[in-house]
Chain A
């Protein structure tokens, strides 16, 4: 929102304050200033001129006027192409020799064969906004010949405030609220906001509010005016400077008071409104707003009706048919409070965000409705329109204008601040912004909140503390580290175990951690042929393709593998994150999953990649302080898990997850060549101990020995089955068994698996007899088990 220093100066004297200081102070005390702009207006030498002759002629193929302009005492000739030129109109006139905003000097010359001794000015030509479409029309009451510098300051400072920092301060959506802040911050006097008394006599306006929730207060006043002239230059220039085109006084005054007070109002032509009803649209229907656009309304949208005819989109914009026309002399002024969320939902849906809707979204206090009506009457009277009430000021709803009180316990403010705050400081600050503050006999405070501060903003002691603290200045607080006993901080096992798994993979196994979205993309699922069984589903996904939350990370990683296939021939990715499902109990369940892929497009055997992944999983499990992971063949599962090329991973019979080689058909779709090995593990079983205690085993005190054996064994049965079989052999000498190597001759259904037994005793050195005993018993076991030694 933009505020004008010139406008503020109606209410508070800002003289002597540097714009940078204004901006910085406002930012740390009240609301964030986004920018400060110094606006300079080229109006020296420009005077009020009255057009006494306007002769239409063809000037270079376009209609133009040869005008005579009276500047009080003498007249000038000029040529003007503006569409709104007419005899009797007053407008700024730049006499030859003066400079326009563009920097061009006005010349005395001949245009299209006509004498031109000056320029009739559009607003943009003298630095009031940028519009150059038509002449700036001045009210008739301004004496001809008056220099503009007597009517208008030659410069203004425009302060732009970040709207986000004003969401809770409806009182700051107008200049007067900021004037109050400036007065408080800089210790200056705030001038009163002058209003005219509202008529309490006469017929009431007929108002029916069908929906008091959406419209808690509706007030209206009927009145007539003597005429509807151009607004005073002060009003026009301020509207133009803030980017709003002035139209005429009756329209401008509602905008002007909106920017002054923060309360939107609407003026209807009384010929179109005599029976006010506030009600919802009730069904789908079109409505045309005064900007000429037609909208499709829904049943819930709130409208102002004249009987059965809708005349305004409540709180957003008036209707085209009931707008103020040049001949309007009788009006109904609406000043109401509409529910913030109602206004917001309609305006957001339609994409029709107006100055009015923005302000109603901030919940202006209801009392503003009455103040705005009184201010509008004041401005109309000051501008000479002579408003005459035709009704009494009529309201349906509550103004909530009784002051509220909040009690602060003795010492509470200073304890909350963490710094000393004495009574004069506190009462001085609160009274400077219009609050009442009495020190209680016990040393606390009774704070009185005037109705112009919203209930949502100021209601509880904490709200009062904010007013005191911010105006005291957070920069005046001495930082103080908290007291409190020294106590150990328990580690968060889940998080720390996740970080450990990350370190194992990323620091020990060359994996790169990535992040993917928490939802699936359907195109990937379609390629894979995967359908989540009971997915958690989004109502408003970013696209129809992304409505299902992931119940496994694998598909997202397969998509990532595909996306990276031209980046590197070989790579390893993993993600550790949440998965979501709807359980059989119909409740949402979340679990952490660690999933990864190893891609090799070089034509190398998947065996290497699979054993790479197994080693990584072994290490993740080992680092968790658990028993070694076991890998057993498993059935087919989701599309990427195919029997014969997938393994179940478990630890002490608890399933961790699966690992496997992606089916070739899928690999061919996703990769340029080669293979992909995937894994997915539940992390919960790994989240056991942050600091596992590895049990010490004493190294052997006596020399041991070893013996190697090589078995010819069916590959289809696998290493795991062979080891399981060997596990059944025990001997007091056998301390440990190691896998040494495997050799599979080409196209052979069997391979040679070599294992090594480490032999030893804890109380003496082995003898030849010992070794022979082991060997003979092991060979007997081999024979009995039908194992074949290679």
Chain B
């Protein structure tokens, strides 16, 4: 075939090419190892060719080669522009791989959330020991020496005379001494009570204590802070009410209820004990109750996590059962 014929045939072939596969066939036919263009050069015996003819052929061949390459390139570009490449050659609907997300324990994720809310309200976080002195757990909190809470059936006693804290209130004294007044602080943590286990009772659970001490802190302040806090927790306006409750470290003491819908009925649900800090508690921490007053509250983190996640049995939290724990994707 003459050069001009080859070129005409190539352009004719390329005109019909619509896909990469078709283009590859054309490319092989002309510029492959055994292609028409390739062979053209292979089959010429340059050794016997006169110099003039050699020069003329070389020029024509090079022209053909570049025309060929350019035509193929344009065809490839035409195919690409036609959108043929948008369809990928694998199952585009396969699931993701190499997931890295594990789980954070639901009590801890609840704690992190509550910490965030209180931080936004100007409360700092404080932490303390889990094994504490009898003074910190009881005496500092105005709990009398013969109070039932000190009995062996309610409190875990240690051989060294200390106790496993029965409530996060055990940190009040230390926090007040360290941070002084005025102060707004929360102290989350693990607590222990020596009681029999059932679906609502655990010997190991989490609380989050809150404390605000300043000049002229009032009951009206307590109600406002609790209402605003709970509205943030539940992401809606929350109605709260106080009713009398008794705890030796507050006076007056309250039970705080919030209004919610349970089983289709709108009703008050008991949420947390709270109250105005007892003057003896302030005095025990070196703070003058004539100058400062405050409120404290004890939120059941475990209970809140149960409410939030719909966990029906408190014992599930401490079982380290993968089927339970891995449900709570680390989403914070």
Does B278 have its Cβ within 8 Å of any Cβ on chain A? yes
In whole angstroms, how far apart are the Cα atoms of A540 and B166 in the complex? 14
Nearest neighbor of A541 in chain B, beta-carbon distance:
B156
* B157-A513 in contact (CB<8A): no
* B254-A513 in contact (CB<8A): no
* A495-B125 in contact (CB<8A): yes
* B125-A462 in contact (CB<8A): no
Residues of B within 8 A of A571 (CB): 322, 326
Interface residues of B in 81-136 (CB under 8 A from A): 99-105, 107-108, 112, 115, 119, 122-127, 129-131
* A540-B323 in contact (CB<8A): no
Residues of A within 8 A of B228 (CB): 481
A418 CB to closest chain B CB (Å) equals: 3
Does B20 have its Cβ within 8 Å of any Cβ on chain A? no
* B125-A465 in contact (CB<8A): no
Residues of B within 8 A of A511 (CB): 102-103
Say which one of B28-36, B65-73, B313-321 lies at the interface with A.
B313-321
Does A512 have its Cβ within 8 Å of any Cβ on chain B? yes
Residues of B within 8 A of A469 (CB): 219, 252
Does A709 have its Cβ within 8 Å of any Cβ on chain B? no
* B220-A477 in contact (CB<8A): yes
Does B139 have its Cβ within 8 Å of any Cβ on chain A? no
Residues of B within 8 A of A62 (CB): none
Contact with B along A455-469 (1 / 0, CB 8 A): 000001011011001
Nearest neighbor of B253 in chain A, beta-carbon distance:
A466
Residues of B within 8 A of A419 (CB): 218-220
* B123-A489 in contact (CB<8A): yes
* B244-A470 in contact (CB<8A): yes
Of the candidates B157, B204, B214, which one forms a contact with A482 in the assembled complex, judged by CB atoms under 8 Å apart? B214
* A463-B127 in contact (CB<8A): no
Residues of A within 8 A of B156 (CB): 538-541
Residues of A within 8 A of B129 (CB): 578, 590
Q: How large is the interface on A (under 10, 10 to 19, 20 to 34, 35 or more residues)?
A: 35 or more
In whole angstroms, how far apart are the Cα atoms of A590 and B190 in the complex? 13
Contact with B along A496-527 (1 / 0, CB 8 A): 10010011011111111111111000000000
Supposing A340-B146, A536-B131, A538-B159 touch, asked if A506 and B123 sit within 8 A by C-beta, the answer is no
Does B303 have its Cβ within 8 Å of any Cβ on chain A? no
In whole angstroms, how far apart are the Cα atoms of A416 and B147 in the complex? 28
Does A572 have its Cβ within 8 Å of any Cβ on chain B? yes
Residues of B within 8 A of A140 (CB): none
Does B27 have its Cβ within 8 Å of any Cβ on chain A? no
* B102-A505 in contact (CB<8A): yes
Residues of A within 8 A of B242 (CB): 28, 474, 477
Residues of A within 8 A of B105 (CB): 513-515
Residues of B within 8 A of A267 (CB): none
Residues of B within 8 A of A416 (CB): 216, 218-219, 276, 293
Supposing A588-B162, A590-B130 touch, asked if A478 and B279 sit within 8 A by C-beta, the answer is no
* B322-A567 in contact (CB<8A): yes
* B243-A507 in contact (CB<8A): no
* A518-B223 in contact (CB<8A): no
In whole angstroms, how far apart are the Cα atoms of A508 and B278 in the complex? 46
Contact with A along B191-224 (1 / 0, CB 8 A): 0101000000001100000001010111111011
Nearest neighbor of B245 in chain A, beta-carbon distance:
A165
Does A345 have its Cβ within 8 Å of any Cβ on chain B? yes
Residues of B within 8 A of A490 (CB): 124
In whole angstroms, how far apart are the Cα atoms of A486 and B148 in the complex? 42
* B244-A165 in contact (CB<8A): yes
Supposing A460-B279, A564-B320 touch, asked if A539 and B157 sit within 8 A by C-beta, the answer is yes
Residues of A within 8 A of B288 (CB): none
Residues of B within 8 A of A505 (CB): 102
Nearest neighbor of B156 in chain A, beta-carbon distance:
A538
Say which one of A29-37, A192-200, A231-239, A441-449 lies at the interface with B.
A29-37
Residues of B within 8 A of A499 (CB): 108, 112, 332
Interface residues of B in 287-332 (CB under 8 A from A): 293, 317-323, 325-326, 330, 332
A482 CB to closest chain B CB (Å) equals: 4
Does B225 have its Cβ within 8 Å of any Cβ on chain A? yes
Residues of B within 8 A of A32 (CB): 243, 255
* B115-A28 in contact (CB<8A): no
In whole angstroms, how far apart are the Cα atoms of A416 and B218 in the complex? 5
Does B182 have its Cβ within 8 Å of any Cβ on chain A? yes
Of the candidates B100, B126, B321, which one forms a contact with A509 in the assembled complex, judged by CB atoms under 8 Å apart? B100
* A507-B220 in contact (CB<8A): no
* B194-A506 in contact (CB<8A): no
Nearest neighbor of A516 in chain B, beta-carbon distance:
B320
In whole angstroms, how far apart are the Cα atoms of A302 and B241 in the complex? 43
* B125-A514 in contact (CB<8A): no
Q: By DSSP majority rule, is chain A's interface helix, strand, loop, or mixed?
A: mixed
Does A563 have its Cβ within 8 Å of any Cβ on chain B? yes
Residues of A within 8 A of B63 (CB): none
In whole angstroms, how far apart are the Cα atoms of A582 and B216 in the complex? 43
Contact with B along A97-137 (1 / 0, CB 8 A): 00000000000000000000000000000000000000000
Does B160 have its Cβ within 8 Å of any Cβ on chain A? yes
Supposing A460-B251, A466-B252, A495-B115 touch, asked if A168 and B330 sit within 8 A by C-beta, the answer is no
* B131-A482 in contact (CB<8A): no
B213 CB to closest chain A CB (Å) equals: 11
Q: For B123, B278, B317, B326, which residue has the most chain A Cβ atoms within 10 angstroms?
A: B326
Of the candidates B130, B147, B190, B218, which one forms a contact with A480 in the assembled complex, judged by CB atoms under 8 Å apart? B218
Residues of A within 8 A of B279 (CB): 460, 462
In whole angstroms, how far apart are the Cα atoms of A507 and B330 in the complex? 6
Does A721 have its Cβ within 8 Å of any Cβ on chain B? no
Residues of A within 8 A of B159 (CB): 536-539
Residues of A within 8 A of B320 (CB): 514-516, 556-557, 559-560, 563-564, 573, 575
B153 CB to closest chain A CB (Å) equals: 7
Does B158 have its Cβ within 8 Å of any Cβ on chain A? yes
Of the candidates B102, B108, B147, B157, which one forms a contact with A540 in the assembled complex, judged by CB atoms under 8 Å apart? B157
Q: For A32, A492, A578, which residue has the most chain B Cβ atoms within 10 angstroms?
A: A492
Nearest neighbor of B98 in chain A, beta-carbon distance:
A510
* A506-B103 in contact (CB<8A): yes
Does B227 have its Cβ within 8 Å of any Cβ on chain A? yes
Residues of B within 8 A of A478 (CB): 220
* A513-B104 in contact (CB<8A): yes
* A588-B101 in contact (CB<8A): no
* B221-A418 in contact (CB<8A): yes
In whole angstroms, how far apart are the Cα atoms of A67 and B12 in the complex? 128
B263 CB to closest chain A CB (Å) equals: 17
Interface residues of A in 424-452 (CB under 8 A from B): none
* B252-A506 in contact (CB<8A): no
Nearest neighbor of B323 in chain A, beta-carbon distance:
A567
* B148-A344 in contact (CB<8A): yes
* B217-A507 in contact (CB<8A): no
Of the candidates B115, B127, B204, B254, which one forms a contact with A474 in the assembled complex, judged by CB atoms under 8 Å apart? B254
In whole angstroms, how far apart are the Cα atoms of A479 and B332 in the complex? 32
Does A341 have its Cβ within 8 Å of any Cβ on chain B? yes
In whole angstroms, how far apart are the Cα atoms of A745 and B43 in the complex? 51
* B330-A502 in contact (CB<8A): yes
A342 CB to closest chain B CB (Å) equals: 8
Interface residues of B in 157-206 (CB under 8 A from A): 157-160, 162, 164, 182, 184, 188, 190, 192, 194, 203-204
- Contacts A515-B204, A577-B190 supplied; 12 other A-B pairs, CB < 8 Å: A28-B242, A417-B220, A419-B218, A484-B182, A490-B124, A494-B127, A511-B102, A514-B320, A563-B319, A571-B326, A572-B102, A580-B130
Q: Which residues of B contact A (CB under 8 A)?
A: 99-105, 107-108, 112, 115, 119, 122-127, 129-131, 146-148, 151-153, 156-160, 162, 164, 182, 184, 188, 190, 192, 194, 203-204, 212, 214, 216-221, 223-225, 227-228, 241-246, 251-255, 276, 278-279, 293, 317-323, 325-326, 330, 332
Which 5 residue pairs spanning A and B have beta carbons closest together?
Answer: A418-B218, A418-B220, A341-B146, A466-B252, A506-B330
Could you name 17 residue pairs across A and B whose Cβ atoms are closer than 8 Å?
A: A165-B244, A462-B252, A477-B223, A484-B122, A484-B214, A489-B119, A506-B103, A508-B100, A512-B102, A515-B105, A536-B131, A536-B158, A542-B194, A567-B321, A577-B190, A578-B129, A588-B160
